[in-house]
């Protein structure tokens, strides 16, 4: 399958696409551009919210507005006036770290992980912002916290720590958020690049964005078999999510960060957003219950 250009923006590091079914809008972030964006289905950017620091993810809050995971912790973002209200910074003692990817789980927790800005290994952690606004550390010694998703039965969580090249599976307890029985469900071959963000479809298949892999690939987590792929005109594919009225459109983010001038010349659309109609449907996204 081939992707189509959705938004030509050439941003440094677009990430975290999140489909808002109520408003039929796509929410996404430019991490290095320190901004959160809301786009219509026709590809026009409806709103842009500057953020005071690097912003790794934005999710929808059930009671209205957004919650963001930014360089100095979790915060509410008011969509009417763009005002940020800090919630907490679980890594105030680690100014060299920043939040990266994040997503809400079936119980309405906001999961988001950190990484060292110089990409030093094992310096990050994976946290949950609970509906009561408390924060729990769920994983330690993470290098580059990335993709998160839950299976259709909501009893497993898949997780990516990018440098490992693995997609790990946990047994997941919806009531408590507790994780157990960690095991690798898939290891990407070296010629596939590195696993970054991901999503899941109704059949329980994983759609994985491949950094330096030029594609989003659909994998069967039970067998490790590659099922299909979506080719991109740029190498650094960062994340993906299903959206649209039928949840059969995959929205894909990419990056320009770290590419040489020659590579940028060969990849003029690097940093843009893309779409692809698929022959399967995604699952509705979850929202923050706090």
CB burial class (10 A; 0-12, 13-18, 19+) of residue 280? middle
Please state, in angstroms and rounded to a whole number, the distance separating the CA atoms of residues 182 and 1: 32
Domain boundaries, the chain: 4-277
- How confident is the model over 8-57, as pLDDT tens digits? 998 999 999 999 999 999 999 999 999 999 999 999 999 999 999 999 99
The count of other CB atoms within 10 Å of the CB of residue 93 is 7
CA 151 to mean position of chain CA atoms: 16
Please give the angle made by the CA atoms of 69, 73 and 79, to the nearest 5 degrees: 50
DSSP 235: S
Task: Kindly state the DSSP code that residue 283 receives in the 8-state scheme.
Answer: P
Tokens of 213: 């892999």
The whole-angstrom separation of Cα 187 and Cα 254 is 22
Q: What is the pLDDT of residue 190?
A: 87
pLDDT tens for 188-202 read 998 899 999 999 999
- CB-side neighbour CA atoms (13 Å) of 163: 12
In which element (H, E) is residue 29 found? strand 25-30
pLDDT at site 1: 86
Report pLDDT for 59. Answer: 98
Residues in the chain: 290
Confirm if 32 and 17 have CB atoms less than 8 A apart: no
Contact 264, 255 (CB under 8 A): no
Position 229 scores a pLDDT of: 97
Main-chain dihedrals φ then ψ at residue 251, nearest 5 degrees: -95, 135
Is the domain 4-277 a CATH 2.120.10.30 member? yes
What's the predicted TM-score (pTM) here?
0.97
Q: Is 38 left (phi over 0), alpha (psi -120 to 50) or beta?
A: beta
Hey, what are 270's tokens? Answer: 């690097």
Closest CA to 130 of 176, 190, 188: 176
Tokens of 284: 């509705």
Intervals of the chain under pLDDT 50: none
């Amino acid at each position: 399958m081939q992707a189509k250009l959705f938004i030509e923006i050439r941003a440094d590091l677009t990430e975290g696409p999140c489909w808002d079914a109520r408003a039929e809008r796509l929410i996404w972030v430019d991490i290095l551009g320190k901004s959160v964006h809301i786009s219509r289905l026709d590809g026009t950017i409806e709103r842009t919210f500057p953020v005071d620091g690097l912003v790794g993810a934005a999710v929808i809050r059930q009671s209205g507005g957004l919650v963001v995971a930014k360089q100095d912790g979790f915060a509410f973002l008011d969509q009417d006036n763009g005002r940020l209200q800090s919630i907490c910074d679980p890594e105030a003692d680690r100014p060299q770290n920043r939040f990266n990817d994040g997503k809400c789980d079936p119980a309405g927790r906001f999961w988001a992980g950190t990484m060292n800005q110089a990409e030093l290994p094992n310096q990050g952690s994976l946290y949950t912002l609970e509906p009561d606004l408390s924060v729990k550390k769920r994983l330690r010694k993470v290098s580059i916290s990335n993709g998160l998703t839950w299976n259709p039965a909501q009893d497993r969580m898949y997780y990516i720590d990018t440098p490992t090249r693995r997609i790990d599976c946990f047994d997941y307890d919806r009531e408590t958020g507790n994780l157990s029985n960690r095991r690798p469900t898939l290891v990407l071959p070296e010629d596939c690049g590195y696993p970054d963000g991901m999503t899941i479809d109704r059949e329980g298949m994983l759609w994985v964005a491949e950094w330096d892999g030029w594609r989003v690939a659909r994998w069967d987590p039970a067998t490790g078999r590659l099922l299909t792929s979506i080719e991109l005109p740029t190498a650094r594919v960062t994340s993906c999510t299903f959206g649209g009225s039928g949840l059969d459109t995959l929205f894909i983010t990419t990056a320009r960060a770290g590419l040489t001038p020659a590579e940028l010349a060969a990849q003029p659309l690097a940093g843009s957003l893309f779409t692809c109609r698929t022959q399967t449907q995604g699952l509705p996204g979850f929202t923050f219950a706090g």
